[in-house]
Chains A and B, each alone.
Chain A
Amino acid sequence: MKISELTKRYDGKTVVDAVSFTIPKGKVISLIGPNGAGKSTVMGMISRLIAHDSGLVDFEGKDIGKWKSKELSKRLAILTQSNSIQMKLTVRELVAFGRFPYSGSRLTDEDRAIIDRAIAYMELEEFQDRFIDELSGGQRQRALIAMVIAQDTEYILLDEPTNNLDIYHATNMMKIVRRLCDELGKTVILVLHEINYAAFYSDYICAFKDGRIAKFGTVEEVITKENLSEIYRVDFEILNIQGKPLSIYY
C-alpha cells in the first residue's frame, strides 16, 4: 500500500497535510503521535472509511476509492473504536459476519469451517454461544478480531485496539496482533496511544505531529530520545529491555 500526498481538511482546517509513506507487507506498523496529530484520520482514509480531499492511496495498484467496496472488504479489514456493540448477537453470529463479503447470507460448509477456525484461534470456543453484550471488554475485543480473521483479509487495520482494556487484556491484544502477523502473515496497521506497546510489538512506527509525518522507520530508528521529546514535547529516557527501546517520560 502506497500513500502519497494524502490531505484532509475539515472546515478549512488542514488536519492531515500531504502525508506520504509506503506500508511494507507482512509487518506490524504502528501509527503514534499526540492527540489531534491526524493518525486516526490517516487510518480512516487508508481504510476508505473517510474520503480524502487530495492525494492518493494506492492499494494493490488502484486508488482505494476506485475499489468495489465488496472486493476491498475481502482484502482489507478495519476495526474502529466506534464498534461498541449493543446488539444481542452471539459471538458465533458476530464472527459469521466476517464471511459476509464472500457468501452473503448463505454460509457454505467452507465458511463454517473458517468460522470454527477463527473462533478456535482466538480461544473463544467456550464463549461462542454467549451474547457479546454479556462478555468482558477483552473477550469482546477478541470476538471482533475473530470476525476479522474470518474475513480473511491480507491487511488488518485496528484503531486503538487497546483502548478501554486493562493491562492484562491490552498486553494480550498486542500479543494477538503479533501472532496475526507472524503466524497468519497479515499486514497489521494500528493506531496506538501507548508508545511502549508500539515499540515492543511493531516492526515499523510512523509518528505523526500536527498532521504531518514526524518520523517513519523501524522501531529503533523512530524510538529515540530526541525524536520522542520533539514529537510529544516532554522529556524522555529510553531504556533497552529485551533488545527493544522502551521509553519513560516524566
Chain B
Amino acid sequence: MIRLSRSTLILSLALLLLSVGSLFVGVIDLTPGALLAGDLELLEIFLISRLPRLLAILCTGVGMSVAGLIMQQLCSNKFVSPTTGATISSAQFGILLALLFLPTSTLWSRAIFAFVFAVLGTWIFVWFIQRIQFKDAVMVPLVGIMFGNVIGGITSYLAYKYEMTQALSSWLVGHFSLVLKGRYEIVWLAVPLVVLAFLFANHFNIVGMGRDFSKNLGVPYNVVLFLGLTIAAMITAAIVVVVGSISYIGLIVPNVVAMFKGDKIRGTLVDTALFGALFVLACDMIGRVVIYPYELPIELIVGILGSLIFIGLLFYRLKHGRKAIRLGGGSGCCQAPTQLEGGSAL
C-alpha cells in the first residue's frame, strides 16, 4: 500500500507545484501578490488565459497518455499509440472536411467531425492489423505510421487544392497559445472518458491477453475492443480539435510507467495520467521560457524530448529485454498485491 501511494503521491505533489508555478509564467507579469491585491485586469488575464491554458494542458497530458495506454493494451503492442495508430491524422482529416463543407462551422461541429473520423480511422487500422497477423511486433506501428501518412497526404492535398493550408496548420502542430476561455472547453471531455476507461480497465487488460483468453473468461472480445478504441479515439479527437497534434506522449508515457509498475491497468492508470500531465506541463513551460517573451509550440518541445526518451527506451529494451525496473531491489515484491487491492478500493 505504501509503495503504491508513494509514486502516486510524489507525482501528484510535483504536478501540483508545477501547475501553480505555471500560472505565473507568461509575458504579462502576474504575481500571486498582485492577484490577491484585487487587480481586476490581472484577474481577468488569469481567468481568461492562464487558468484555461493550465486546464487544457492537464487534460491533454492525462488524455493523450491514457489514450495511448488503452491502445497499447488492447492491441497488446507497446508501439501503438494515437500517433502510430492513425488516430491523430484521422481526426485532422475530419477537421479539414468540416472546414471545407461547413465553412461557418463552430468548434462543436468540427469536434463532431473529428470524433467520427478519429474513431473510424482507428477502427480501420485495428481491423487491418487483426486481419493480417504480423510476425514482428514492430510491423504494427510501421503500418500505422504509413496509414497515418496516407491520410495525412490526402488531408494536405485537399488543403492545398482548396487553399486551406493556413487554416489547417493550426491543427497540424500542437500548441496551447490559442487556448482561451470559451474556446477550449471541449478538451474537458477527456476527463469523463478517462474515468470510463478506469471502470473498464480490467476488461481492457483481459482483451489485451487475446481472443481465446477473453472468451474463456466470458468477456465479449470484439465489443470491448471497439469500445476501448472508441474511448481512446474520442479522447484524442477532443484534444486534437482544441490543441492540435501532439505526438509521442501516448507512446512514451505509458511505456515509462509500465517499466516501473507493470501492465495491470488498474494499478498504472492513475500514475500514467499524472505523469502524462506532468510531462506536458513541463514541456509547455520550457516552450514558454526558452525564447521568452515569445513561445515555441509544444509539439516542438515534446517532439525533441519525446524522441530522445523514446530512443532511450529502445536502448533499454535492447539491453535488458522486458525486465521491469524495480525500485529498492527486493522490496519491489510487495508492490503488486497492494496494487490489486488498492485498485479495487479506488
Chain A interface residues (CB < 8 Å from chain B) = 47-49, 68-74, 77-80, 82-83, 85-90, 92-93, 96-98, 100-101, 104-107, 128-131, 133-134, 151
Give 5 nearest A-B pairs by CB, closest first: A73-B218, A70-B218, A90-B336, A88-B263, A129-B336
Report the bound CA distance from A202 to B294 in whole Å. 77
Size category, B interface:
35 or more
B337 at the interface (CB under 8 A from A): yes
B88 at the interface (CB under 8 A from A): no
CB of B324 within 8 A of CB of A77, answer no
Closest chain B CB from A212 CB (angstroms): 25
CB of B219 within 8 A of CB of A92, answer no
Residues of A within 8 A of B210 (CB): 82-83
Q: Determine which residue in A70, A87, A130 has the highest number of CB atoms from chain B within 10 A of its CB, and name it.
A: A87
Which of B205, B209, B212 lies in contact with A49, CB distance below 8 A? B212
CB of A69 within 8 A of CB of B262, answer no
Closest chain B CB from A108 CB (angstroms): 9
Q: Determine which residue in B73, B76, B218, B340 has the highest number of CB atoms from chain A within 10 A of its CB, and name it.
A: B218
Q: Which residue of B lies closest to A101 (CB)?
A: B218
B215 at the interface (CB under 8 A from A): yes
CB of A100 within 8 A of CB of B340, answer no
Closest chain B CB from A247 CB (angstroms): 31
CB of B216 within 8 A of CB of A73, answer yes
B344 at the interface (CB under 8 A from A): yes
Closest chain B CB from A48 CB (angstroms): 7
Closest chain B CB from A140 CB (angstroms): 13
Closest chain B CB from A95 CB (angstroms): 10
CB of B215 within 8 A of CB of A49, answer yes
Apart from A78-B216, A100-B202, list 6 A-B contacts with CB within 8 A.
A68-B218, A79-B216, A87-B76, A97-B206, A97-B209, A131-B324
Chain B interface residues (CB < 8 Å from chain A) = 73, 76, 199, 201-203, 205-206, 208-210, 212-213, 215-220, 258, 262-264, 266, 322-324, 333-337, 339-340, 344
Residues of B within 8 A of A98 (CB): 217
Q: Which residue of B lies closest to A105 (CB)?
A: B202
CB of A87 within 8 A of CB of B340, answer no
Residues of B within 8 A of A80 (CB): 212
CB of B206 within 8 A of CB of A87, answer no
CB of A69 within 8 A of CB of B215, answer yes
Which of A86, A92, A97, A134 lies in contact with B217, CB distance below 8 A? A97
Q: Which residue of A lies closest to B266 (CB)?
A: A105
Report the bound CA distance from A68 to B344 in whole Å. 26
Which of B76, B201, B216, B220 lies in contact with A105, CB distance below 8 A? B201
Residues of A within 8 A of B336 (CB): 90, 92-93, 128-129
Which of B218, B262, B334, B340 lies in contact with A131, CB distance below 8 A? B262
Closest chain B CB from A174 CB (angstroms): 21
Report the bound CA distance from A97 to B265 in whole Å. 13
CB of A87 within 8 A of CB of B208, answer yes
Q: Which residue of B lies closest to A83 (CB)?
A: B213
Given contacts A88-B322, A92-B336, A129-B337, contact A72 B209 (CB under 8 A): no
A sample of 24 cross-chain residue pairs with beta-carbon separation below 8 angstroms, ordered by A number, consists of A47-B216, A49-B212, A49-B216, A68-B218, A72-B218, A73-B216, A77-B216, A82-B210, A83-B212, A87-B76, A87-B209, A88-B258, A88-B324, A89-B262, A93-B262, A93-B339, A93-B340, A100-B202, A100-B218, A100-B219, A101-B218, A105-B201, A130-B333, A134-B322
Residues of A within 8 A of B216 (CB): 47, 49, 73, 77-79, 151
Report the bound CA distance from A106 to B206 in whole Å. 15
Closest chain A CB from B74 CB (angstroms): 12
Residues of B within 8 A of A85 (CB): 209
Residues of A within 8 A of B213 (CB): 83
Residues of A within 8 A of B212 (CB): 49, 78, 80, 82-83
Residues of A within 8 A of B333 (CB): 129-130
Closest chain A CB from B68 CB (angstroms): 16
